[in-house]
Amino acid sequence: MTPIRIGTRGSALALAQAGWVKRKLEERYPGIGVGTITIKTSGDRFLNTPIKAIGGKGIFVKEIEEALLRKEIDLAVHSMKDLPTEIPSGLRLLAVPEREDPRDVLVSLDNRPLKDLPQGARIGTGSLRRQAQILYHRPDLSVQPMRGNIDTRLKKLERGEVDAVVMAAAGLKRIGYENRISEYLSAEICLSAVAQGALGLEGRDGEPLMDEIAFLHHLPTALEVEAERGFLRRLGGGCQIPVGARAWAGEDRIRLTGVICDVDGSKLFRGEIAGWAKDAEKLGQELAERLLKDGADEILAPKEGVLAHGSN
């Protein structure tokens, strides 16, 4: 078996994710050479710029995909929620490993839960989805835009720039920061991003690597991600609209909840659908259609043509 070069972003979280894949491959194939190559993406270079201002789809994956196409790396390890719903020609999603905790969490200075934060408390997040749902639930709070990796956000919290931050449970757990979590936010308060907590292993189409890493593929997670991405794809494939989706796959059935909300939290459309797991993507699209007919199309209409995909 030939050596495998893994391409990844350089954040602590991205390196932890790539490191996990590297260890799994080395355990499965003793003696194989697995290397890690760090690639800086557009999303990493412009940390002081709001994601929507950078523009373009896949700002956290584009340069890594280009390295795949140039054969500088063999396998890309992405946070699945950063991967656009349309994958470039010549590439394909090879495996989706078992998902980490997909929930959003609150991290606050004094460990207070969301309900106990005082009126006007400042909540830091770089996600329009989180902003919209938090404001819908508690319009008295002040949401502050915040970019940067996990450590950067936690330092801003510690310096008192905000009173709390909303983050992904998966990221904190993967780098050993689970003890920082003040509250796990329920899906009723803050439904997670499409594919949150899941990894996407991407490679070149038609190469044997797909068979070699098939042992990492987790079918229930893949079906959940398929349903959630189907929901997002029907809405235009962009993450710069406040959209959340979470699927739960059983043996042969799947249930999906989706939300579409106004950025200021003034309107929120929520729905649920269930059906056969084999119809995962179709169910996601059906739920999106239902919410659009219920009035969510009014939220999306002003943003037509200017959607950008980003970390959410």
- Strand-pairing partners, residue 273, are 256
Four-residue CA torsion sign, 133, 138, 143, 148: negative
Strand-pair category, 183-184 with 243-249: unpaired
DSSP 127-182: -HHHHHHHHHH-TTSEEEE--S-HHHHHHHHHTTS-SEEEEEHHHHHHTT-GGG--
CA angle 136, 231, 92 (to 5 degrees): 130
Q: What is the dihedral of CA 86, 234, 306, 123, to 10 degrees?
A: -100
Q: On the CB side of 44, how many CA atoms lie within 13 Å of its CA? A: 18
Q: Is 82 a catalytic residue?
A: yes
Hey, is 66 helix, strand or coil? Answer: helix
Euclidean distance between CA atoms 213 and 210, whole angstroms:
6
Residue among 44, 74, 82, 264 flagged as catalytic: 82
Amino acid at residue number 177: Y
Residues recognised as catalytic: 82
